[in-house]
Structure 1
Amino acid sequence: MLFEKPKHHHHHRVSEFQAVVLAGYGSSNRLYPISEEDSMPKALLPVGNKPVISYTLDWLEKAGIHDIIVVIQAIGSSPQKLSTYLKNYPGNVHCQVVSVDEDDETADALRAIKDKIDRDFLVVPCDLVTELDPRDLLDAHRVYDPTFSALFYEPGLSESASKDDDLLPYVGIDSTRNALVYKALRSEADDFSMRMSLLNKFSRVRVHTDLQDAHLYIFKRWIIDMLVDKEKITSISKDLIPMLIKCQYQKKLVKREEIEKYSSTYENLLANALSLSTTQSADIGDESFTDDPIHLSFKSPIKSYVHVYRGGFCGRGNTTASYNELNRNATKQGTSITRVPSSAEVAPRTQVGNDSIIGESTKIDERSSVKKSCVGSYCVIGKNVKIINSVIMDHVVIGDNVKIEGCIICKNAHIHEKASLKDCDVVYGYIVQKDSVLKGEKLVDFREAI
């Protein structure tokens, strides 16, 4: 007998997880001036000529997650611009945009959308670009079944060495159970200390100083209920994660914060399944967590899982240096992308390197060269122009004999002939005068404060 499989439309399909994408939180000031409200929200900054958030959405779709809430701070016209983009987003995901108060931190944002979250959920920043296969992370999360999972990665050279970045944190991992048991910011002067209770509970801790927090987390649904009651938790990475980490070994903290009350609302699906099994005993799978007979530590209701990703590209565009790095990665040699679309007009004696990309309908005149750069759509570039290691957004006009190196040039900027710019950020609509020689500047129009 043949059974025909019913055809599912994606809006009927309930995915196992929901996703919350944080669009432009906290680091917009580190991207000053390129994500100013007049130019564009951080989520829409181009990486390889596609909005950076499209990489996140694509990654979530690969993970089989179709129900996505995009949270953005209500600054200027950012929510409208983002909604317009997402309405026409070609992927097979359903996004709702929620704008929250400008001063809301990340955990505040989760509280604001508490009624929209009805199952376990991922939190992911809009500027994370990674080659990590999402199924690797989700499968491990299912196996460990922790309260939360966190992703850490080994950053590329420019990210760990960039001058505007802090030192990488101390990350303590119990390698026997892949638990995240310690995380602290590092500063040049700080001494390093750990509690005995941590070492009693987790005797095999390795402390890493070469890992970056991707700020991608998977949480149990009950975490939201807890956040609703605990308004003092404002930031996910600064308040919530450190508290959950400590709850794994601090009995008093678990009691004080009444963690049991929240976690008991969640039935352990694995235990439930095993109790129904005819071949497995219900306590199997838990023997790695039996208490150490010498230190009768308590059994914490909190369990973490940390996924460490090395060997492939992973990065965030939350500083101008790392944003540049995302663009370099997106257009590096060997990537299968259309480098010069048929609508672009590139003069015959102009070179576009095979590590660069040109947008639709862009015109480049004679004897110019583009290396290690992304040039957007509808740009007009004159004769004998050199563009190296730069990001040029849409509708930029560049005059003859201009040299641009290591720059980010925002939409509608105008660079007059013979200007030379090195390591500059040029804001939306800015006009660079003829013959200007500028290095390391942030070029911003001073608008009258209203």
Structure 2
Amino acid sequence: MSGQKGKAARKAGNSGRKPETVQDERLQAIILTDSFETRFMPLTAVKPRCLLPLANVPLIEYTLEFLAKAGASEVYLMCASHADQISDYIESSKWNMPWSPFRVSTIMSLESRSVGDAMRDLDNRGIITGDFILVSGDLVTNMEFDKALDFHRKKKAEDKDHIVTMCLSKASQFFRTRCHEPAAFILDKSNDKCLYYQDIPPDNSKHKTSLAIDPELLDGVDAFKLRNDLIDCHVDICSPLVPAIFQENFDYQFLRRDFVKGVLTSDLLKKSIYAFITDEYAARVESWQTYDAISQDFIARWCYPMVLNSNLLDDQTYSYESEHIYKEKDVVLAQSCKIGKRTAIGSGSKIGEGTRIENSIIGRNCRIAENIVIKNSYIWDNTTIGSDSVIEHSLVASGVKIGSKVVLNDGCVIGFNVIIDDHMEIPIGTRLSETCVEKQASQFLDSEPYSDDEASESATPLSDAEPALELVGDHGVGYVYDSDDAEDEDNSSVLDRVTNALTYRFDDMYLSDSSISSVGAKHKKKRRMSTNSAYTDREDDYDDDVDYDEEEDFAVEAVATVERAMENNHDLDTALLELNTLRMSINVTYHEVRSATVVALLRRVYHFIETRTLGPKDAVQKVFAQWGQLFKRQAFDQEEFLDLGNLLLEKTVAQGFEKPEFILFSALTCLYDNDILDEDIVYTWWDQVSQDSSYDQAKTLIAKWIDWLKTADEESSSGEDSEESDSE
């Protein structure tokens, strides 16, 4: 960030001395508020993505908070889609106040249809005076930017051709916020200089690929590393040359696949790009899948110190309770409603009698009636939900009215101001909008960048469009939005179709191993299937051709794998990857994985006790507190967690502990305390096994523990009732 300031240069000239080079200390930042995609349709036909709420906070706030902590002095928002809404929001926000940590300006780049267009517009305006931060308006991170900036300046001092530092975050193969568009980075092992970049098709697309790199790009490189385990959060530190390079290359539309790949492979530019790799949390809300994952991570405080009860907005009043429960002031809860873990409720919202909410975020001024079940869902402001309704893993936008006894199945997205009559059921993955949004987006996604503002132009009722009365009812309001990606078989459409849905499970894209339900230890009959198959084990699934010796081989190898990981103190991700690779190679179900893991952990406990290294209580705590986390990636629904409880009971007795009842009690309480087994699972499991006379000795302490839990629940409930009465 060096250059001559005009006034300083004139003073130097008048005094007869040589002009001095003055360092420009301003740190500028450019925010691309438009994603130039249509993944969040139909919601982005009404509101820009950067203003959509995540955990009841507009997305742009997370990005601006990051830039404030990064020390930015000037922030420019490049606005294309819904630019007027963004401008109005910024003007009325705390960032436009005199005490704002930076000066913020909105730039109306209304003709931009891609990142390349926005960068060329930026170059034409001539506002960049030095190195700047380029970031998307959908970033959520707690990254310490000072480290990245120091890295950038160091590399720039060492390499005069250095123009970009990409900030990348480490992620295992199981990380939920893994980039929506996976990519491979080839880096110089000595200095993290990027040698090559290439997109990776998803595992279940029809397009398979390998990296084909020009050997000349590796000239002079002693050793390199290939990384496909990085989250690209699109935080870049750029030199002023970057907009100019976009200006000179009008075919550059995308930041990575065009600009980065083009610069690295160009014989003319001869410029360098480096990668700064951080362990801190950094991810973009670039799809429904990542919206879901980041919301859950944020509520679970993965982004600390940026947490919900830090109250990013001036009028927020969130307080934090145990089990990651957040409530604002003026929330009204009925006495018999149950608020489960990882839940947030905005001010002015009212929850009725008998309603159960868990793993969900409720906005402000919502009216949620009686006997409603809401799980893994996102309810935005000013929503009304009638009694006896069920909402499972869905998103309900602001102003929606849902009648009584309505069922929203997995993955539904209900757009702004939609009205649904009583007794309606919305099928899996349905998207509804208040007005008809023309299905024109997919044709642009691969061949030409596309912006949500083009979709917004068609977000008006079409003459030949019919309301979806079969879904919303005769008195309802709503149209089905169904992008025509399914008709397009190119790689981008496959990627969007597979991944961009709330129903999408992360295993499918990177591991091709959807959870296979194998719920009972007594069901030992399996089918030989592909790893993409999903089924429930039943007696009629029997296949005489299965070689059950393979299952025994798996048990031996899997137990050895877990024992080796514990002995050598490997990280959990490595152990999970080895187990999953072994599971897919032999093609067994997750029941066998859970069984082997339980055996390995109990053997480790037995070893500590027998060698007098640790006492029974400490041994269980040491092993299960750390390695019990493996079960989070081995059980995915209630039936599989119940199977885990059965395996713990069976294998604890089989191990031959002197006091199996104490070992079982300690293991279950440890898993409960670490949020691996929740209370409802424990109660359901106990209801199933308490009447069975098998293993009675091992269950003696568990019976007392269950009684204690229920007593504590009753006391807690009565205490809350008393507090509510006092407040009233």
Bin for the TM-score computed over the shorter chain: 0.7 to 0.9
- Asked if residue 448 in structure 1 is aligned to residue 461 in structure 2, the reply is yes
Report matched runs for 1:184-263 at 5 Å: 184-187=198-201, 188-247=207-266, 253-254=267-268, 259=269
Partner of 2:114: 105
CA distance in 2, matches of 1:66, 1:343: 37
Partner of 1:89: 93
Partner of 1:57: 64
Report matched runs for 1:4-153 at 5 Å: 16-27=26-37, 29-36=38-45, 38=46, 40-73=47-80, 75=81, 78-91=82-95, 92=100, 93-114=102-123, 115-145=126-156, 146-153=162-169
Deviation at 1:366, TM superposition (A): 1.6
Opposite residue 199 of structure 1, the aligned amino acid is: L
Asked if 2 retains the 8 angstrom alpha-carbon contact of 1:333 and 1:354, the reply is no
Partner of 2:406: 419
Q: TM-score, normalised by structure 1?
A: 0.78
Secondary structure of 1:239's counterpart equals helix
- Asked if residue 158 in structure 1 is aligned to residue 181 in structure 2, the reply is no
Opposite residue 242 of structure 2, the aligned amino acid is: I
Q: 1:432 to 1:190 in 2, by over 3 A?
A: same
Deviation at 1:369, TM superposition (A): 2.1
Asked if 2 retains the 8 angstrom alpha-carbon contact of 1:380 and 1:395, the reply is yes
Partner of 2:390: 403
Deviation at 1:360, TM superposition (A): 2.0
Which of 202-211 and 87-96 deviates more? 87-96
Which of 345-354 and 55-64 deviates more? 345-354
CA distance in 2, matches of 1:336, 1:176: 39
Q: Deviations over 1:71-110 (max 9, x none)?
A: 121x3xx212211221232242322112223552112102
Asked if 2 retains the 8 angstrom alpha-carbon contact of 1:332 and 1:356, the reply is no
Q: 1:215 to 1:324 in 2, by over 3 A?
A: same
Q: Deviations over 1:304-329 (max 9, x none)?
A: 2201223x432211111111112112
CA distance in 2, matches of 1:15, 1:81: 32
Q: Deviations over 1:104-129 (max 9, x none)?
A: 21121022122222221111011111
Partner of 1:180: 194
Greater strand fraction, Structure 1 or Structure 2: 1
Deviation at 1:59, TM superposition (A): 0.5
Secondary structure of 2:26's counterpart equals coil
Asked if 1 retains the 8 angstrom alpha-carbon contact of 2:53 and 2:59, the reply is yes
Q: Deviations over 1:325-346 (max 9, x none)?
A: 1211221268562221112222
Opposite residue 168 of structure 2, the aligned amino acid is: F
CA distance in 2, matches of 1:173, 1:333: 31
CA distance in 2, matches of 1:372, 1:154: 26
**Higher relative contact order (Cα pairs below 8 Å, separated by 6+ residues):** 1
Q: TM-score, normalised by structure 2?
A: 0.49
CA distance in 2, matches of 1:54, 1:316: 13
Opposite residue 448 of structure 1, the aligned amino acid is: P
Q: 1:67 to 1:333 in 2, by over 3 A?
A: closer
**What is the root-mean-square deviation in Å for CA atoms of aligned residues?**
2.1
Asked if 1 retains the 8 angstrom alpha-carbon contact of 2:337 and 2:352, the reply is yes
Asked if 2 retains the 8 angstrom alpha-carbon contact of 1:398 and 1:417, the reply is yes
Deviation at 1:150, TM superposition (A): 0.5
- Asked if residue 433 in structure 1 is aligned to residue 443 in structure 2, the reply is no
Asked if 2 retains the 8 angstrom alpha-carbon contact of 1:332 and 1:372, the reply is no
Partner of 2:338: 351
Secondary structure of 2:237's counterpart equals strand
Asked if 2 retains the 8 angstrom alpha-carbon contact of 1:355 and 1:373, the reply is yes
**Aligned equivalent of 1:326, options 270, 285, 294:** 294
Opposite residue 419 of structure 2, the aligned amino acid is: I
Deviation at 1:231, TM superposition (A): 2.5
Opposite residue 121 of structure 2, the aligned amino acid is: A
Opposite residue 195 of structure 2, the aligned amino acid is: V
Q: Which segments of 5 or more consecutive residues in structure 1 lack a partner in the other structure?
A: 1-13, 248-252, 260-299
Larger Cα-atom Rg = 2
Report matched runs for 1:365-380 at 5 Å: 365-380=352-367
Partner of 2:667: none
CA distance in 1, matches of 2:196, 2:248: 25
CA distance in 2, matches of 1:24, 1:389: 27
Greater helix fraction, Structure 1 or Structure 2: 2
Secondary structure of 2:44's counterpart equals coil
Opposite residue 416 of structure 2, the aligned amino acid is: Y
Deviation at 1:17, TM superposition (A): 2.1
Deviation at 1:197, TM superposition (A): 0.7
Q: Deviations over 1:144-197 (max 9, x none)?
A: 12311002223463334x9xx44x212111120111111111235213221111
Deviation at 1:349, TM superposition (A): 2.2
CA distance in 1, matches of 2:111, 2:403: 37
Asked if 2 retains the 8 angstrom alpha-carbon contact of 1:391 and 1:409, the reply is yes
Asked if 1 retains the 8 angstrom alpha-carbon contact of 2:83 and 2:110, the reply is no
Q: Which segments of 5 or more consecutive residues in structure 2 lack a partner in the other structure?
A: 1-23, 157-161, 202-206, 310-317, 319-325, 437-459, 464-728
CA distance in 1, matches of 2:407, 2:337: 19
Secondary structure of 1:35's counterpart equals helix
Q: What is the total number of aligned residue pairs between the two structures?
A: 376
